[in-house]
Structure formats: structure tokens, C-alpha cells
Amino acid sequence: MAGDASDPIVRVRDISVRFGATKVLDGLSLDVKRGEILGFVGPSGAGKSVLTRTIIGLVPKIGGSIEVFGVDLQTADPTARRAVERRWGVLFQQGALFSSLNVRQNIQFPVREYLNVSQRLLDEITIAKLGMVGLLPEVADRYPSELSGGMIKRVALARALALDPELVFLDEPTSGLDPIGAGDFDDLVRTLQRTLGLTVFMVTHDLDSLHTACDRIAVLGNGKIIAAGSMADMLASQHPWLRAYFHGKRARAVVG
């Protein structure tokens, strides 16, 4: 299972994903290292969400291998697979809360799926997770339609943290938030990563997030990783897309 501290938590090798005639991922390889926040960027429609969904097993690949915590999920038996799934949490794009369930039921959903615990413990977990993401206990009775965009993101993060994961996948967690709300969310992710020792895979278009929250950045283009490294590496790259993205009009306000 998990090896020494330098082993990658997620090890993707040479994977390809196709929808009909379109190859979205084409021989992609990527490591997510233990304890890092990896920011994952690339043009709209490049396949960032597809990679996330492929890693967690929601999209089938046509080649290559993916290991999470040292386990190849394709060849693992169902028990080993479930044991790995239990160690990650996911915040899907747009929060993706179940609209017919209240906040309490949303947060308890993954716990009920993987653990057999009492209602009392479930309620304690709910309040603890709401506290972790900076929300008051009374939010538990509200429905997603009664929450602001920022609160939805926080509840979705609380749900992703419900099983005390070691690894979290965040798909555009700050999209739709105003800059202050997005900055607060970045701070929250950073704090949780430090205090809980989380490894974070974060799909984002948010340059501020890349600057302030991410330890490393990987860039997707033409179905492959076209660059991976620090923000300084991204800024120094001569690749046309990276230049346009990190030195473009929107970047100037961030980079200065």
C-alpha cells in the first residue's frame, strides 16, 4: 500500500481517454505528491474534469495505468478499491450538492455509504465538518437552494472531508465566487491542507488560487501534461499557451 513519504499519492502513467472519435487524453502521465496542493490548469474543454473523473474511476480509460495510494484501481479487487475510495474526498464542479437533501443529509451521504455509524455520531461528524469549513451548525437544516454560492462550495468541501480523507479532488472550487470569497476559500483549503496533512488535486482557472494556494502547477494541453512545476517555472516558460495564460491581461493584475 502506501510507501515512503516521497512516493506519489496519485501516479498516472500514459493514460488515454476517448469519447467516440475524440481523444480527450492522449498518453497523459502525472504525479500528485504527498502533502502538496497541485493546481491543474489548461484551456477550457481540454479535459481537466475528465482526468479528475478518470482518476476516481467515473470515466473509463483505453490505456495506461492509474495508482492511488499505490493501488491500481483497475486491477484491485472490490474490497481494495473501496478501501482506497474511502481515503479520498471529491468536490465536483458547481458544488454538485444533492438539491433534494439538506446540508446535514448531503454531508452524511458519503459516511452512510462507507461506514456503519450511529445517527448520533453522524450528527457529530456533520457539526464538526461544518465547523472545519467555517459554517455554523444551524446551516445543517438548510437546503442547497437556500445557500449562497460561497456556502455551497463550503458545504461541498465539508462533504468531501466527511470521511477524513487524505486526498481531496477539488474541481474549480472557486468558480462563481467573488474575489474575496475565492480568496477566503483558498485560505481555507491551505489551512486544511496544513492542519490535516491533506494532499490536494485542484482543477482551477483562478490565477489567484494558483499563486496563493498551490505548491505546484500542472498544465494540460493536447491531451498531455505540457508543463509541471512551480509558479516561477510557469512564468519562465516560453510555451505559447503558458505565456498567454500567465502573462496575459488577466495575469498582469495578479503577477504585477
Binding site for ligand ATP (CB under 6 A): 19, 24, 42, 44-50
The nearest distance, CB 84 to ligand ATP, in angstroms, is: 22
User: What number of CA atoms fall less than 13 Å from residue 42's CA on the CB side?
Assistant: 24
CA 200 – CA 59 distance, rounded (Å): 20
Nearer to ligand ATP, 49 or 108 (CB): 49
The nearest distance, CB 192 to ligand ATP, in angstroms, is: 23
Nearer to ligand ATP, 46 or 231 (CB): 46
CA 254 – CA 88 distance, rounded (Å): 31
CB atoms within 10 A of CB 116: 6
CA 205 – CA 210 distance, rounded (Å): 8
Nearer to ligand ATP, 44 or 195 (CB): 44
- Sign of CA pseudo-dihedral 100, 105, 183, 85: negative
| Buried/exposed 139-157: b ≥16 CB within 10 Å, e otherwise | bbeeebeebeebbbbbbbb
The nearest distance, CB 39 to ligand ATP, in angstroms, is: 13
The nearest distance, CB 17 to ligand ATP, in angstroms, is: 8
Nearer to ligand ATP, 58 or 115 (CB): 58
Nearer to ligand ATP, 183 or 221 (CB): 221
The nearest distance, CB 44 to ligand ATP, in angstroms, is: 3
Q: Which three cell numbers stand for residue 56?
A: 476516481
